[in-house]
């Protein structure tokens, strides 16, 4: 068993994150000032802060030592770096983002830019201090460039709008996105949910708060409907939602992009796609995840390559200006070769953008016994996929990571110039206010650069409906102090 004793600090989560990167699961025992990994190697380390020094030491007293920094954020980062160095030496394993365990490794780039650092200096710090691979340091800087160019379309005060549909006809093995109660629900439940959702939106957009925002010229610039599988809504519920959007065209008149995360290809139909296109949607996301029927079957997805190809043809025939695809690397049974085969297949179809995700089974997913491991093969296949995408004219854009992501990798969207998802970029940038409606949807107000206030709606659809009024008031209160 691996144990890390904390002395002179209580950065349990920093230590736990790092251990989870290497070993998958780590338990915090706060009363004993201990974080431990039952399946880890037989080793006890002491992470110590005090007397002007930060150290991570083995029982024989060896290990990295550094001067204690004054900056509290930096202290947490230093603790991680030291632990990373010791564990990398013990295990012989290295990760693409080194000691960075956060959801948005590119955030560091933004932070340093704000302080006036050059790209070269940022890359040096990423590689030499945080142990990020040179390939990922380059990627982080490229992503920042794309994000900045996309965000020039927005003005201060602009909003983006997110609408969540928490229903899926079945649940994939790695997903916890939809609670069991949300899977394959009867049409009446879909209708009740959408009715409540529209009530929630009416309440907000008819408020004096929104009238004052409109009068001040604040606009919604991107709309994203996500899920779940929004197009699997019962037809009457989908009609109700799309009808509301059409009736409120004035509200959405300033949008530069309207995305529907259509999701699972087996629910595409020319009628539904035509209806969405008529309602002004400009971007559709198709989620094949893989073009291998075997991998899809093992992942519990009841569709195959043919349905994905058909969905792509339907989206193209319906005239969507941007078709986006999601693929996942690291599905059980996959290899580096299957990841590359999927990318090549997607490129033959020619989406304007695609996101290559590294598998990250969620807590609460059916795959509870998933073995979290670093896979050099997977990292190499991502690197090869990125080379292929670059050669095909795609540029890297929005990038984020998830807890328990395989091989410490990332999810990165690649897009042809001019495409790529304004909503995603704006949402991940933390520089744009987000209006979130629906179960689990997050509303976010940027109070000042780097200072955010967030409000999450109840995740379970029934709770969302029963707490509609209270949540609506809280959402208004999130912005009311601005008036």
Task: Pick the closer one to ligand SF4 by CB: 291 or 386.
Answer: 291
Counted residue by residue, the chain has a size of 483
Distance, CA of 435 to CA of 426 (rounded, Å): 12
Q: Is 11 in the site for ligand SF4 (CB under 6 A)?
A: no
* Binding-site size, ligand SF4 (CB under 6 A): 11
β-strand 283-289 against 322-329: which pairing, if any? parallel
Helix (H, G, I), strand (E, B) or coil at 135: helix
Task: Pick the closer one to ligand SF4 by CB: 365 or 452.
Answer: 365
Q: Is 303 in the site for ligand SF4 (CB under 6 A)?
A: no
Q: Is 281 in the site for ligand SF4 (CB under 6 A)?
A: no
Residue from 16, 20, 82, 229 touching ligand SF4 (CB under 6 A): that is 229
Q: Is 171 in the site for ligand SF4 (CB under 6 A)?
A: yes
* Shortest separation between residue 328's beta carbon and ligand SF4, angstroms: 9
Positions in 110-169 near ligand SF4 (CB under 6 A): 168
Q: Is 177 in the site for ligand SF4 (CB under 6 A)?
A: yes
Site stretch for ligand SF4 (CB under 6 A), options 16-24, 151-159, 227-235, 338-346: 227-235
Edge-to-edge order in the sheet of strand 159-165 = 395-400, 411-415, 353-358, 322-329, 283-289, 257-263, 220-227, 159-165, 433-437, 442-448, 451-456
Q: Is 440 in the site for ligand SF4 (CB under 6 A)?
A: no
Closest to 405 (Cα-Cα) out of 444, 368, 361, 439: 361
Q: Is 175 in the site for ligand SF4 (CB under 6 A)?
A: yes
Q: Which residues pair with 2 in a beta bridge?
A: 37, 43
- C-alpha R_g of the chain: 23
Q: Is 296 in the site for ligand SF4 (CB under 6 A)?
A: no
Edge-to-edge order in the sheet of strand 34-37 = 27-29, 34-37, 2-7, 43-50, 53-57, 65-67
Positions in 178-197 near ligand SF4 (CB under 6 A): 178
Site stretch for ligand SF4 (CB under 6 A), options 23-31, 69-77, 118-126, 174-182: 174-182
Q: Is 330 in the site for ligand SF4 (CB under 6 A)?
A: no
Phi, psi of 429 (to 5 degrees): -70, -20
Residue from 105, 263, 396, 461 touching ligand SF4 (CB under 6 A): that is 263
* Shortest separation between residue 388's beta carbon and ligand SF4, angstroms: 25
Residue from 98, 228, 397, 398 touching ligand SF4 (CB under 6 A): that is 228
* Shortest separation between residue 317's beta carbon and ligand SF4, angstroms: 23
Q: Provide the sign of the torsion angle of the four alpha carbons 26, 27, 28, 34, taken in this order.
A: negative
Task: Pick the closer one to ligand SF4 by CB: 177 or 205.
Answer: 177
* Shortest separation between residue 174's beta carbon and ligand SF4, angstroms: 7
Closest to 171 (Cα-Cα) out of 396, 365, 393: 365
Q: Which residue is nearest to ligand SF4 (CB)?
A: 175
Please report which helix (H) or strand (E) contains residue 289, including its range. Answer: strand 283-289
Tell me the DSSP string of 340-398: HHHHHHHHHH--SEEEEEEP-PPTTSS-TTPPP---HHHHHHHHHHHHHHHHTT-EEEE
Q: Is 172 in the site for ligand SF4 (CB under 6 A)?
A: yes
Q: Is 311 in the site for ligand SF4 (CB under 6 A)?
A: no
Spatial CB neighbours of 294, under 8 Å, sequence gap ≥ 6: 333
The site for ligand SF4 (CB under 6 A) is made up of 168, 171-172, 175, 177-178, 227-229, 263-264
């Amino acid at each position: 068993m691996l144990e890390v004793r904390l002395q002179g600090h209580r950065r349990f989560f920093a230590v736990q994150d790092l251990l989870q990167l290497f070993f998958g699961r780590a338990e915090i025992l706060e009363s004993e000032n201990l974080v431990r990994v039952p399946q880890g190697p037989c080793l006890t380390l002491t992470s110590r802060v005090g007397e002007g020094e930060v150290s991570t030491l083995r029982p024989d007293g060896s290990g990295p030592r550094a001067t204690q920094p004054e900056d509290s954020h930096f202290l947490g980062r230093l603790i991680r770096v030291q632990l990373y160095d010791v564990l990398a030496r013990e295990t012989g394993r290295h990760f693409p983002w080194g000691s960075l365990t956060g959801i948005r490794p590119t955030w560091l780039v933004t932070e340093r830019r704000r302080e006036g650092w050059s790209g070269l200096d940022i890359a040096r710090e990423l590689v030499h201090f945080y142990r990020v691979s040179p390939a990922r340091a380059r990627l982080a800087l490229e992503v920042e460039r794309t994000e900045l160019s996309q965000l020039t379309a927005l003005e201060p005060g602009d909003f983006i709008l997110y609408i969540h549909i928490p229903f899926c006809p079945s649940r994939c093995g790695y997903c916890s996105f939809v609670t069991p109660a949300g899977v394959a629900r009867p049409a009446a439940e879909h209708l009740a949910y959408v009715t409540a959702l529209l009530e929630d939106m009416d309440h907000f957009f008819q408020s004096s708060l929104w009238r004052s925002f409109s009068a001040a010229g604040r606009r919604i610039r991107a709309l994203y409907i996500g899920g779940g599988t929004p197009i699997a809504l019962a037809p009457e519920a989908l009609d109700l939602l799309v009808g509301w959007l059409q009736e409120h065209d004035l509200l959405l008149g300033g949008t530069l992009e309207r995305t529907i995360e259509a999701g699972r290809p087996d629910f595409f139909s020319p009628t539904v796609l035509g209806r969405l296109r008529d309602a002004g949607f400009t971007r559709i996301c198709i989620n094949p995840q893989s073009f291998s029927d075997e991998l899809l079957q093992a992942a519990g997805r009841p569709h195959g390559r043919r349905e994905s190809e058909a969905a792509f043809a339907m989206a193209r025939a319906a005239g969507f200006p941007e078709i986006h695809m999601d693929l996942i690397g690291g599905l059980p049974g996959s290899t580096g070769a299957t990841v590359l085969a999927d990318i090549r297949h997607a490129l033959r179809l020619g989406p304007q953008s695609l996101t290559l995700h590294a598998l990250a089974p969620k807590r609460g997913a059916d795959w509870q016994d998933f073995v979290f491991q670093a896979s050099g093969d997977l990292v190499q296949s991502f690197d090869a996929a990125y080379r292929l995408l670059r050669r095909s004219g795609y540029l890297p854009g929005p990038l984020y990571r998830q807890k328990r992501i395989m091989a410490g990798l990332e999810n990165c969207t690649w897009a042809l110039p001019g495409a790529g998802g304004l909503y995603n970029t704006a949402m991940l940038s933390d520089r744009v206010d987000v209006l979130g409606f629906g179960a689990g949807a997050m509303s976010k107000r940027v109070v000042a650069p780097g200072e955010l206030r967030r409000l999450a709606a109840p995740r379970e659809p029934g709770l969302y409906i029963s707490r509609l009024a209270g949540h609506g008031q809280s959402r208004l209160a999130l912005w009311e102090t601005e008036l």
